[in-house]
Amino acid sequence: MESKGKEGPVLAAISAAIESYLSLEQEVQPSAILPAPPVRLWSQFGRQELMNQRIWCQLRMLRH
């Protein structure tokens, strides 16, 4: 693509702006990853017990 007159500097400025934006985005992206919160074992155990009770109730209803 040939540039005539003022198009050359404009295209160069646009491509430089895009390149700087992409490089800035790549620098910021890895720091945006947050560590996972710690697992709370008591709440996990409680949810598992509730699911087990539900399964047992469903099994009892199917037997009768």
Q: Is the pLDDT of residue 41 over 60?
A: yes
Q: Is the pLDDT of residue 7 over 60?
A: yes
b/e per residue, 8-25, with b = 16+ CB within 10 A? eeeeeeeeeeeeeeeeee
pLDDT score, position 61: 86
pLDDT score, position 31: 60
Note the pTM of the prediction, 2 decimals: 0.39
